[in-house]
Amino acid sequence: MTDDLNDTSIALKRGRAADYVRQTLREIHISKPMLDLIDRMATAPGLPKEIDGAWLRKKWQSEVLCVNNGIINLQGLSPDIAFQNWSIDKLDNPRGLLRKSIQKASQEIRHDHVSYFQFGRWDQENACAERMRGSEDDEISLMAALWLRQSLREQSKFLTEMLILYSGRISRNGLEKQTPDWLKYSPDEIRCWTNIPPTCQPLWLDHAKTLFGEVLKNLPRKTIERGANKSRLDRIDEVRTLRLRLQSERVANMDFYSMPGPLEKAAKLNITANEFLLAQKIMCDDILDGKCDISIHRDQPVWMIFAKYLSQAKGKIALPDFSEVETRIHNIFNLDIEEFISGLPPLSKGLFLQGSDILTEIKEWSLYLTSIFQVQSEWHNIPSAPDLGFVLWLAKKRWPEM
């Protein structure tokens, strides 16, 4: 009788828990259009093929429940927007540690070891496994692919087991006096290694050998070779995508308006500040699409490649609405002049303003903006970036339109 009551009590608790989970998941439901959008984002080149919208939704929902102890807190955002923001961050580092994995590992492993993995070592180990898919040793190449695939599916388990391995190394060998050379590299640098350092003794490989070593011994040689060849091809595709992404980010962060070459070309083409920014975006998109690889033009400065994109952007800016134009004008006329001047590139002061009063130039530029604000067809000439707009104004006075 007592056993029956216990069984009934357990069943009721499980039922209530299941009802609670179902109710919670309804509260953080993701709409199909949003899931479809994230699904498309997850198919971008270079991302692990195991990741899709459904995988991201499952991980996000798990994170929401884990981090807040079952209490939903989306910080005032709708589930769709909260999921989208999280997914965008996650796709930047899809193998990065989830907070749920960290929380579970912290219950079993020393906190300082968990922090060490959380703030670097885990990403380095994953990057090393990604790089070692290119190993000439078929078994290591295939083990890397298997370990990476499985670690995405069972991250909490893999993290805990890796931490146990790490703790074992520490207890056997003591803390190393110096960081091994390979751990001085960032994850992106590790992924793009030309050669693997001889000092590289990653934990992931020890872990993979315990998981897959016996299985591989029983596989036919040709099966291992096929798997290794596919692993190497996946690495080549991902490294190429990574290299292009890094190039695109580099170009996006370059201040071309601080260089005389692009400014002279823009001035002579009568390019507006907004078209100048569009040219930079077009170039970044072309790099990501593989249409522009700046690494193969080693004899040509990046700004010369960018300058060719200026003509592509000319006339391509849509006319902004009144609200947008009003915001731009308001921002320009409420600039902190001292801060604005100090933030201008040295080029604008040294190349354009010799012997002239910068405040006079700013006043003249402001009058020009006021005049075109009165003409709707000229609104596209009002800059969204005031510093770029002003420098181009000066450049056009020095280099008249061709």
Mean pLDDT by 10 residues, the chain (402 residues): 56 57 71 92 84 91 73 78 92 90 87 90 96 94 96 94 88 61 90 88 94 92 95 88 86 91 93 95 90 80 93 91 92 89 79 74 91 91 92 87 59
Please give the Cα distance from 240 to 185 (Å, whole number).
19
Instruction: Name the 3-class secondary structure at 186.
Output: coil
Residue 357 — φ and ψ, nearest 5°? -95, 120
Please give the Cα distance from 230 to 232 (Å, whole number).
5
User: Which amino acid appears at position 149 of this protein?
Assistant: R
Query: What is the pTM for the complete model shown?
Result: 0.71
Please give the Cα distance from 312 to 25 (Å, whole number).
47
Q: Which residues contact 134 (CB under 8 A, 6 or more apart)?
A: 141, 232, 235, 236
User: Which amino acid appears at position 154 of this protein?
Assistant: E
Please tell me the predicted confidence (pLDDT) of residue 44. 80
Give how far Cα 94 sits from Cα of 34, 82, 98, 151, 351, Å.
19, 17, 10, 11, 46
Q: In the structure encoding, which two tokens stand for residue 196, read together?
A: 């693997």
Give how far Cα 17 sits from Cα of 2, 20, 322, Å.
23, 5, 53
Phi/psi region, residue 267 (left: phi>0; alpha: psi -120 to 50; beta: rest), is alpha
Please give the Cα distance from 15 to 149 (Å, whole number).
34
Of 193, 296, 202, 204, nearest to 242 by C-alpha is 193
Please tell me the predicted confidence (pLDDT) of residue 33. 92
Q: Note the helical H segments in 78-121.
A: 79-92, 99-106, 111-116
Please tell me the predicted confidence (pLDDT) of residue 36. 92
Contacts of 277-280 with C-beta under 8 Å, sequence gap 24+, read 277/384, 277/385, 277/388, 278/313, 278/316, 278/317, 279/306, 279/309, 279/310, 279/312, 279/313, 280/251, 280/252, 280/254, 280/256, 280/306, 280/309
Please give the Cα distance from 58 to 48 (Å, whole number).
16
User: Which amino acid appears at position 133 of this protein?
Assistant: R
